[in-house]
Structure 1
Amino acid sequence: MSTDTRTITVGIDGSRSSLDAADWAAREAQRRQLPLRLLHAGTEPAAPGGVFDIDDIDDIDDIDDIDDIDEIDVPAGRTRAALDRAAIELSYAHPALDIIARRTATPAVPALLAAAVEAEALVLGSRGRTGSAGFPVGSVALGVAARADRPVVLVRPGELPEDERVPVVDGSSPSTAPYLPVVLGLDPDASADDLIGYAFDTAAVRSAPLHVVHPWTLPTSTLRPWRHRFPGTTVREHRVDGDPGPRLLEASARAGLLIVGRRTGRGPGRAARSLIRHAGCPVAVVPHG
């Protein structure tokens, strides 16, 4: 990964979802030994935080379409206090972590896109209800994931530290359990070095196995240089005949992170949006090619 982008940045908007995302981001910053940047964007008394209907998400094919969907503003009087509270709570939970809290009056999407340029990854909460029917993705989260130049990690509400680790059965501390696999969905007809590199790097910092799901048409040599570059990472390939989406969704139920790609200059495709909506773990959307 690039060494000139040296923060993990998370958007804070006062919602419970954003605070759960901040907790995930703090753990990621600690794993990568990077500073954590908390960012609240927008002006009082309301912050843009509308929620799409799930059907609206499926109708988005181009990045510009995101601006055509109506949002519902949510109260934001609590965001200033939430930003300060998040910084304090995270500093207690991670005393060695360098935490920077910032506010800006710039609207959320452009502010977060600008912040993403300077970040190793941008982390956002996905608002809505959990469950088998999936959950609506916030307009800010979707808009940023569709445009950002860096990886954007979308964290489900209620995500806990133990959710990214192997369940313990012997009474030991969950924090010492091995990490669950990182799962990568790989498209064989795209230039995907940035996507593959992010996946291998993420697995390496967790000492987690990497499971790569891809069609049969992927050349066998695609992953070879990355295996040599990360010899300590266990890699399992899952070749599927047809749509890999169902296999990725199944794998996400036993994963710590699901990584999907999107073409630079385009929003996530329909398959990626379905995974964002239904995956059983946080989803990283990585621009490439």
Structure 2
Amino acid sequence: MTTTAPRPVVVGHDGGYASSGALRYALAEARRGAAPLRIVHAMPLRTSAFVDLPVLAEELDAERRQVEATLRAEASRLAGDVAVQVVTCHGAPASVLLGSAEDARLLVIGREHRTGLRRLLGGATTEDVAAHATAPVAVVPEGWHDAQTPRQRILVALKEPAHSAELLGAAFRRAEQSGAIVRVVHAWQPDDRVSGDRPDAWTPQALLVERAASAIDDLLRPWRRAFPGVIANVEVHLADPRTDLLEESAAADLVVLLRGEAPVFGPHLGGVLRPVLHAADCPVLLVPATSGQLPPLDLELERAGTMLR
């Protein structure tokens, strides 16, 4: 009987302190899933017509070996029984990471801190990778450490029933492993405009909230049966989704979000995913949408305001 080798956890490492949290998170995930860890380092290649290429190749190879040795030393200090592979490639960081993670079960990257002109000229690696990876992507703050006191809460940002199976499945499995509570949050801003085909004029907001909570409870029912040891709570908020999720992340160990289909070129994460990705107080897990979908929420709820986007 043949056995299939476990797919690796892949982590991007830029060689600096900013990647230390991502490395620790990736090691914890690899250990949790009995999977190998692949550390990927991209080495941008910038050359000139006045540079002697044979000499440059020797210097680049020496630099690559030095980077590999440094990363291996750091990994061996933290890895324990996790099998570690180090990969260094010349190329744009986003392209290198995406190419190296085609077989990954999880791709882990550190939160990017470049802003303004530096981010515009150098590209947004975090957003490019998060938008286009085929595997789930975890974005980790640089200060993350697995020794910190757990908050015992996994936050699920639920926009609509479509693709809720991916989100809830990821959250319940992690909650079962860690003993955390699943907190499912759905937020939208009511639209004050009133017209003949909108329920705002005659439907109390409290009733809309009650209906949304009931619909989400229905979605949770099979997951609660499958994971009887996991406690799951539902919160429906009339609030700006971005502000609401950032506030909720302060009491969570992990935020789980759905990532929709990305365009062929450039990142496209939407008005909620982007700020949460860059400012959440804990790691953020982006789960890619699949082709399977469920019916949308009550259309009256959709018409009542702007839901998570």
Residue 195 of structure 1: aligned partner: 167
Q: Give the distance between the partners of 1:4 and 1:271, measured in 2 at CA.
A: 36
Cα offset, 1:106, TM superposition: 4.3
Query: Secondary structure, in 3 states, of the residue corresponding to 1:222?
Result: helix
Report the CA distance shift for 1:261/1:95 in structure 2 as closer, same or farther (over 3 A).
same
Residue 74 of structure 1: aligned partner: none
Query: Is residue 6–residue 35 contact of structure 2 (8 Å, CA) maintained in 1?
Result: no
TM-score (ref. length: structure 1) = 0.73
Q: Give the distance between the partners of 1:82 and 1:253, measured in 2 at CA.
A: 35
Report the CA distance shift for 1:222/1:243 in structure 2 as closer, same or farther (over 3 A).
farther
Q: Give the distance between the partners of 1:273 and 1:161, measured in 2 at CA.
A: 25
Query: Secondary structure, in 3 states, of the residue corresponding to 2:35?
Result: coil
Residue 41 of structure 2: aligned partner: 40
Which of residues 107, 116, 139 is equivalent to 2:101? 116
Report the CA distance shift for 1:229/1:189 in structure 2 as closer, same or farther (over 3 A).
closer
**Which residue type is aligned with residue 232 of structure 1?**
G
Query: Is residue 192–residue 288 contact of structure 1 (8 Å, CA) maintained in 2?
Result: no
Cα offset, 1:252, TM superposition: 0.9
Identity of aligned residues (%): 31
Q: Give the distance between the partners of 1:100 and 1:5, measured in 2 at CA.
A: 14
Cα offset, 1:81, TM superposition: 3.7
Residue 183 of structure 1: aligned partner: 155
Larger Rg: 2
What whole-Å deviation, never above 9, does each CA across 1:118-145 have from its counterpart, x for those lacking one? 111100111328xxxxxx8971111010
TM-score (ref. length: structure 2) = 0.68
Residue 230 of structure 2: aligned partner: 233
Residue 54 of structure 1: aligned partner: none
What whole-Å deviation, never above 9, does each CA across 1:243-269 have from its counterpart, x for those lacking one? 333332122112111111121235321
Q: Which runs of 4+ in 1 moved over 4 A?
A: 43-46, 77-80
What whole-Å deviation, never above 9, does each CA across 1:210-245 have from its counterpart, x for those lacking one? 111114436231122222222222212212234333
Superposition pairs for residues 91-240 of structure 1, below 5 Å?
91-128=76-113, 139-163=124-148, 165-166=149-150, 180-188=152-160, 190-215=162-187, 216=209, 217=212, 219=215, 220-240=217-237
Residue 74 of structure 2: aligned partner: 89
Residue 258 of structure 2: aligned partner: 261
**Which residue type is aligned with residue 261 of structure 1?**
L
What whole-Å deviation, never above 9, does each CA across 1:20-43 have from its counterpart, x for those lacking one? 211211112112221111111344
The more displaced of 216-225 and 22-31 is 216-225
Query: Secondary structure, in 3 states, of the residue corresponding to 2:168?
Result: helix
**Which residue type is aligned with residue 103 of structure 1?**
T
The more displaced of 222-231 and 136-145 is 136-145
Query: Secondary structure, in 3 states, of the residue corresponding to 2:219?
Result: coil
Q: Give the distance between the partners of 1:245 and 1:196, measured in 2 at CA.
A: 20
Residue 64 of structure 1: aligned partner: none
Q: Give the distance between the partners of 1:87 and 1:286, measured in 2 at CA.
A: 29
Query: Is residue 249–residue 278 contact of structure 1 (8 Å, CA) maintained in 2?
Result: yes
Report the CA distance shift for 1:228/1:15 in structure 2 as closer, same or farther (over 3 A).
same
Q: Give the distance between the partners of 1:86 and 1:181, measured in 2 at CA.
A: 32
Query: Is residue 112–residue 278 contact of structure 2 (8 Å, CA) maintained in 1?
Result: no
Gaps of 5+ in 1: 47-76, 130-135, 167-178
Report the CA distance shift for 1:4/1:271 in structure 2 as closer, same or farther (over 3 A).
farther
**Which residue type is aligned with residue 156 of structure 2?**
L
Residue 245 of structure 2: aligned partner: 248
Q: Give the distance between the partners of 1:81 and 1:19, measured in 2 at CA.
A: 18
Q: Give the distance between the partners of 1:16 and 1:278, measured in 2 at CA.
A: 18
**Which residue type is aligned with residue 277 of structure 2?**
I
| Aligned-residue CA RMSD (Å) | 2.8
Name the one with the larger helix percent. Answer: 2
Query: Is residue 184–residue 259 contact of structure 1 (8 Å, CA) maintained in 2?
Result: yes
Gaps of 5+ in 2: 48-61, 188-208, 291-309
Residue 57 of structure 1: aligned partner: none
Query: Is residue 14–residue 78 contact of structure 1 (8 Å, CA) maintained in 2?
Result: no
